[in-house]
């Protein structure tokens, strides 16, 4: 088990080192792909194990006992997140290789991407707060480099906002961890619940808010979201897809941990309000913008709002819906950004004013866009519907009628803005591709030009559809995960006794 | 825990926050450095009582080594962040000959509601456009 | 930025200080297991020498040293450190766990070798490489941002 839990982190790191040594492009690609496959394989094994009996798996580093060691912990939530995250990272790597752009321009793309994958895996497995901080730094540092890899004017401008805001987030998190340590004398997540409960109310609330602000910046919740729609669109699609699909979701994951393990159910009213405002502000931005990448970036924010809303409601049903939403959002958001990448590669632009008629040019690309878009808007029979439906039902049970009404309205507007993209980009006159011959308009060969990119996007979309097919058992798993989350004692005793 | 060190932490945070609000990237970089030092000092001050350096073989009255280990890690990370911001500022300066952080063009144009033709922000990332 | 070589500093740093510093760095690195020190500190000492050389106007000097590709050194150091992390997994121990061998070397006596020494050596190389990369990319005359191999410059 130790190997299974540590290889998702160590594998990509070894690959990063190898990619620094070997600079031949194909060698780098092979190394990256191999190591991510190994890591994803380990994630599958961990998931299958945890699915079986739901026991919390623990790995300790360096042979140190108990709370002295760096601890990796996988419960149901970590296991499923690890699996989905590593699968997404691997598919995006294939896409990037197909795009042939980021790694041909810089020999640093692969090492940095590997480091980011390791950071993502570590953040999901971290068993103590400081380890979580280090994981955040690893993945953030890599994301800074990926975002500004070419150093163009636009990238530097947007990257500056991103970097400074995230450094602020890191500092808030560091201070929070320092204060938690000062108050309790530990940073181990299995020891914290007990010791935090002994603290006076005022101290506990301030520590809680510190952690929420830090993770809130990362998750881009209202009022800390403004850096996101500015910076994500400036990166190449293969990079912004990972950012959109994973980085904010890790912030949400940490918020779930904080709300269930460390401070169970506290400040939930605040979180509900923040969630609702995040939904609203995100959708307003999405409706007002005209560029596909920008629209999708604002959708990230509004969807984060749903998860935060569900987290605030609390209780088994709402947490289960939140986890379902979280898992479902990763492939949906990633694949939408990947489709956007194919569109702008083919058309030379992703502005809705300049792109049109894609459905005629390539029906399959239209399908690749339509399925995740409808799932994002929450239409049956897609998994997004199930996520939103269970969230709404949990909200109604908890008598958050205003929140539920807003959630449904926002969902309608999500559909509206998806339809906006669809009408503008996929209907209408077909325009010639900016790649290949001008008379290629009539042919349906768009995907043939971008075979690897299309394949990896298609695999991800198939994954979304599969999620709808296995929705029954998966929803059972998610409910079990929520039960496990709502019972911090089981986490604590599992980590202590192992 | 010493009061003067706590006051120093407060001063560092105040100075760092002030610098971070500036438009000039060099000052932002300085702010990042100062804030980082403030955070590290806070952990050392708040995290442990004073005592002997925690080295194996020393007599009693050792200070708690864990906050020091945390801070050591945080210092290295802070150093990396600071150097990255400096690199960013330097790059920004070589491109624009200007140390400031610029506004987001797309946001500005949305605010002023100018229905123009293609805006710089609309341009896709050039790597997404096939060559 | 073009520093004029300063004769005295140049002489002092290049002829004397660098050799002494390397000795100090080796000492600091290897005593790290029983007393304060280790690969990080040792790497910083060597890095300090490079910085001093740079300040005396010896920047081209670094450029033509055998270590012309610090990324290679970085990758090598990282690899050494990571391999020592992973190897315990193969022998069914937990990652980063260290093993102590006690050897009896003739004429010297008992020598204690700790497997985490290799981890420290890896860190040493990483630190030296990072200092070199910073000097070559940020310290060089605006030639490239990301190292010595020309990518990223425009």
Model confidence at A257: pLDDT above 50: yes
And the tokens for A54? 């739901």
* All partners of chain A with 3 or more CB pairs under 8 angstroms: B, C
Complex ipTM value: 0.85
Model confidence at A439: pLDDT above 60: no
The shortest CB-CB distance from B124 to any of A137, A290, A349 is to: A349
Model confidence at A437, pLDDT cuts 50, 70, 90, reads very low
- Look at residue C74 and tell me if it is in a domain: yes
Model confidence at C59, pLDDT cuts 50, 70, 90, reads low
B128 contacts on A by Cβ (under 8 Å): 99, 101, 236-237, 341, 344-345, 350
A437 at interface of B, judged by CB pairs closer than 8 A = no
Tell me how close the Cα of B14 comes to any Cα of chain C, in angstroms: 29
Tell me how close the Cα of C25 comes to any Cα of chain B, in angstroms: 19
Q: Is residue B39 within 8 Å of B47, Cβ to Cβ?
A: no
Buried b / exposed e across A239-278, counting CB within 10 Å, b at 16+?
bbbbbbbbbbbbbbbbbbbbbbbbbbebbbeebbebbbbb
Taking Cα atoms as reference points, which of A204, A205, A210 lies closest to residue A177? Answer: A210
B90 at interface of C, judged by CB pairs closer than 8 A = yes
Interchain proximity B128–A236, CB inside 8 Å: yes
- Look at residue C36 and tell me if it is in a domain: yes
**Residue B4, SS3?**
helix
| Domain interval for residue A419 | 2-497
Burial (0-12, 13-18, 19+ Cβ within 10 Å), A63: middle
Tell me how close the Cα of A361 comes to any Cα of chain B, in angstroms: 17
Model confidence at B117: pLDDT above 60: no
And the tokens for C120? 């420290």
Break chain B into its structural domains and give their ranges.
3-122
Tell me how close the Cα of C7 comes to any Cα of chain A, in angstroms: 37
The residue among A351 and C59 whose pLDDT is bigger is: A351
A101 at interface of C, judged by CB pairs closer than 8 A = no
What is the average pLDDT score of chain A? 87
A346 at interface of B, judged by CB pairs closer than 8 A = yes
> Cα A85 from chain centroid?
7
Interchain proximity B55–C137, CB inside 8 Å: no
Output the pLDDT for position A342: 84
Interchain proximity A10–C85, CB inside 8 Å: yes
C75 contacts on A by Cβ (under 8 Å): 17-21, 111
Q: What is the torsion angle, in degrees rounded to the nearest 10, for the CA atoms of residue C71, residue C73, residue C78 and residue C83? A: 130
Output the pLDDT for position A310: 92
Output the pLDDT for position B47: 76
- Look at residue C2 and tell me if it is in a domain: no
- Among B88, B91, B127, the strongest candidate for a mutation testing the C interface, having the largest count of C CBs within 10 A, is B91
Model confidence at C6, pLDDT cuts 50, 70, 90, reads low
Q: Is residue A33 within 8 Å of A452, Cβ to Cβ?
A: no
**pLDDT tens across A13-27, in order?**
999 999 988 888 888
Give the 3-state DSSP-derived string for chain C, with helices as H, strands as E and coil as C.
Answer: CCCCCCHHHHHHHHHHHHHHHHHHHHHHHHHHHCCCCCHHHHHHHHHHHHHHHHHCCCHHHHHCCCCCCHHHHHHHHHHHHHHHHHHHHHCCCCCCCCCEEEEEECCCEEEEEECHHHHHHHHHHHHHHHHHHHHHHHHCCCCCCCCCCCCCCC
Looking at residues B44-71, what average pLDDT do you find? 76
Bridge-partner residues for A60, per DSSP? Answer: A71
Output the pLDDT for position C79: 92
Taking Cα atoms as reference points, which of A331, A310, A332, A333 lies closest to residue A478? Answer: A310
- Look at residue C149 and tell me if it is in a domain: no
A121 at interface of C, judged by CB pairs closer than 8 A = no
**pLDDT tens across C90-115, in order?**
777 777 777 777 777 777 777 777 77
Output the pLDDT for position B107: 65
Classify B3-122 by CATH class: mainly alpha
The shortest CB-CB distance from C134 to any of B55, B83, B91 is to: B83
Model confidence at A85, pLDDT cuts 50, 70, 90, reads very high
C127 contacts on B by Cβ (under 8 Å): none
A62 contacts on C by Cβ (under 8 Å): 94-98
Share of chain B above pLDDT 90, in %: 23
Give the 3-state DSSP-derived string for chain A, with helices as H, strands as E and coil as C.
Answer: CHHHHHHHHHHHHHHHHHHHHCCCHHHHHHHHHHHHHHHHHHHHHHHHHHHHHCCCEEEECCCCCHHHCCEEEECHHHHHHHHHHHHHHHHHHHHHHHHCCHHHHCCCHHHHHHHHHHHHHHHHHECEHHHHHHHHHHHHHHHHHHHCCCCCHHHHHHHHHHHHHHHHHHHHHHHHHHHHHHHHCCCECCCHHHHHHCCCHHHHHHHHHHHHHHHHHHHCCCCCCCCHHHHHHHCCHHHHHHHHHHHHHHHHHHHHHHHHHHCCCCCHHHHHHHHHHHHHHHHHHHHHCCEHHHHHHHHHHHHHHHHHHHHHHCHHHHHHHHHHHHHHHHHHHHHHHHHHHHHHHHHCCCECCCCCCHHHHCHHHHHHHHHHHHHHHCCCCCHHHHHHHHHHHHHHHCCCHHHHHHHHHHHHHHHHHHHHHHHHHHCCCCCCCCCCCHHHHCCCCHHHHCHHHHHHHHHHHHHHHHHHHCHHHHHHHHHHHHHHHCCHHHHHHHHHHC
Q: Is residue A256 within 8 Å of A271, Cβ to Cβ?
A: no
Interchain proximity B130–A137, CB inside 8 Å: no
A208 at interface of B, judged by CB pairs closer than 8 A = no
**Residue B95, SS3?**
helix
The shortest CB-CB distance from A59 to any of C74, C85, C94 is to: C94
Output the pLDDT for position C12: 75
Provide the pairing of β-strand A57-60 with A71-74.
antiparallel
- Look at residue C1 and tell me if it is in a domain: no
B83 at interface of C, judged by CB pairs closer than 8 A = yes
- Look at residue C152 and tell me if it is in a domain: no
- Among A171, A293, A347, A349, the strongest candidate for a mutation testing the B interface, having the largest count of B CBs within 10 A, is A171
- Give CA–CA dist A76/C40, Å, rounded: 38
Model confidence at A495, pLDDT cuts 50, 70, 90, reads confident
The residue among A13 and C154 whose pLDDT is bigger is: A13
C-alpha dist (Å) from residue B3 to A436, B9, B45, B46: 70, 10, 9, 11
Q: Is residue A160 within 8 Å of B26, Cβ to Cβ?
A: no
Domain count, chain C: 1
Tell me how close the Cα of B6 comes to any Cα of chain A, in angstroms: 13
For residue C37, is it left (φ>0), alpha (ψ between -120 and 50) or beta? Answer: left
Looking at residues A31-50, what average pLDDT do you find? 92
**pLDDT tens across A122-144, in order?**
999 998 898 999 999 999 999 99
B120 contacts on A by Cβ (under 8 Å): 154
C79 contacts on A by Cβ (under 8 Å): 14, 17-18, 21
| Domain interval for residue C111 | 7-139
């Amino acid at each position: 088990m130790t190997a299974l839990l540590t290889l998702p982190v160590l594998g990509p790191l070894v690959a990063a080192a190898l990619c620094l040594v070997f600079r031949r492009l194909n060698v780098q690609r092979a190394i990256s792909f191999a190591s991510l496959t190994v890591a994803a394989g380990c994630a599958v094994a961990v998931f299958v194990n945890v699915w079986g009996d739901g026991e919390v798996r623990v790995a300790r580093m360096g042979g140190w006992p108990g709370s002295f060691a760096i601890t990796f912990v996988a419960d149901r939530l970590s296991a499923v997140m690890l699996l989905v995250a590593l699968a997404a990272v691997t598919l995006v790597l294939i896409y990037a290789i197909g795009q042939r752009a980021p790694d041909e321009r810089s020999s640093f793309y692969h090492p940095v991407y590997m480091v980011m994958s390791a950071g993502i895996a570590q953040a999901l497995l971290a068993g103590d707060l400081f380890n979580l901080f280090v994981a955040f730094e690893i993945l953030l540092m890599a994301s800074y480099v990926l975002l500004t890899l070419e150093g163009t004017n636009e990238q530097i401008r947007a990257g500056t906002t991103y970097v400074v805001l995230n450094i602020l987030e890191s500092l808030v998190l560091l201070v929070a961890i320092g204060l938690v340590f000062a108050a309790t004398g530990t940073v181990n997540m299995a020891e914290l619940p007990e010791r935090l409960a002994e603290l006076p109310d005022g101290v506990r609330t301030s520590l809680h808010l510190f952690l929420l602000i830090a993770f809130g910046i990362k998750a881009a919740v209202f009022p800390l979201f403004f850096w996101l729609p500015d910076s994500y669109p400036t990166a190449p699609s293969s990079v912004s897809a990972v950012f959109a699909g994973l980085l904010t979701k890790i912030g949400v994951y940490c918020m779930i941990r904080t709300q269930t393990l460390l401070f169970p159910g506290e400040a939930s009213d605040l979180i509900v309000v923040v969630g609702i405002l995040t939904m609203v502000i995100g959708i307003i931005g999405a409706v007002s913008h005209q560029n596909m990448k920008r629209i999708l970036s604002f959708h990230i924010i509004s969807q984060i709002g749903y998860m935060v809303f569900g987290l605030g409601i609390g209780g088994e049903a709402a947490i289960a819906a939140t986890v379902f939403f979280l898992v479902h959002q990763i492939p949906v958001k990633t694949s939408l950004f990947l489709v956007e990448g194919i569109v702008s590669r083919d058309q030379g632009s992703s502005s809705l004013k300049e792109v049109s008629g894609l459905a005629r040019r390539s029906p399959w690309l239209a399908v690749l866009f339509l399925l995740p878009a409808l799932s994002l808007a929450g239409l049956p029979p897609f998994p997004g519907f199930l996520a939103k439906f269970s969230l709404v039902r949990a909200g109604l049970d908890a008598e958050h009628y205003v929140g539920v009404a807003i959630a449904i309205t926002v969902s309608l507007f999500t559909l509206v803005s998806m339809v906006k993209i669809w009408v503008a980009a996929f209907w209408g006159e077909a325009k010639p591709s900016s790649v290949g011959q001008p008379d290629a308009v009539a042919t349906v060969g768009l995907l043939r030009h971008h075979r690897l990119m299309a394949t990896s996007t298609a695999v991800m979309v198939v994954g979304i559809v599969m999620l709808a097919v296995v929705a029954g058992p998966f929803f059972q798993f998610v409910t079990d995960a929520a039960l496990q989350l709502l019972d911090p004692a089981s986490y604590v005793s599992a980590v202590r006794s192992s | 825990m010493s009061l003067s060190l706590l006051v120093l932490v407060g001063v560092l945070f105040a100075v760092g926050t002030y610098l971070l609000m500036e438009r000039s990237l060099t000052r932002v970089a300085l702010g990042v450095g100062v804030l980082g030092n403030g955070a590290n000092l806070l952990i050392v001050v708040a995290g442990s009582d004073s005592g002997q350096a925690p080295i194996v073989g020393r007599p009693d009255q050792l200070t708690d080594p864990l906050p020091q280990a945390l801070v050591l890690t945080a210092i290295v990370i802070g150093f990396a962040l600071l150097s990255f911001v400096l690199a960013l500022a330097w790059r920004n300066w070589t491109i624009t000959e200007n140390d400031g952080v610029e506004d987001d063009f797309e946001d500005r144009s949305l605010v002023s509601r100018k229905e123009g033709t293609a805006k710089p922000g609309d341009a896709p990332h050039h790597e997404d456009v096939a060559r | 930025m073009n520093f004029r070589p300063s004769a005295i500093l140049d002489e002092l740093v290049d002829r004397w200080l660098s050799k002494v510093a390397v000795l100090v760095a080796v000492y600091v690195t290897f005593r790290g297991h029983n007393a304060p020190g280790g690969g990080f500190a040792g790497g910083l000492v060597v890095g300090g020498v490079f910085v001093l050389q740079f300040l005396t106007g010896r920047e081209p000097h670094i450029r033509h040293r055998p270590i012309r590709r610090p990324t290679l050194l970085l990758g090598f150091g990282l690899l050494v450190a990571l391999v020592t992390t992973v190897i315990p997994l193969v022998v069914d121990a937990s990652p980063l766990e260290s093993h102590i061998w006690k050897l009896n070397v003739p004429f010297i006596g008992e020598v204690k070798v700790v497997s985490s020494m290799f981890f420290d050596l890896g860190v040493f190389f990483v630190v030296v490489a990072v200092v070199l990369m910073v000097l070559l990319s940020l310290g060089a005359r605006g030639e490239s941002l990301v190292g010595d191999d020309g990518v990223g410059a425009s």
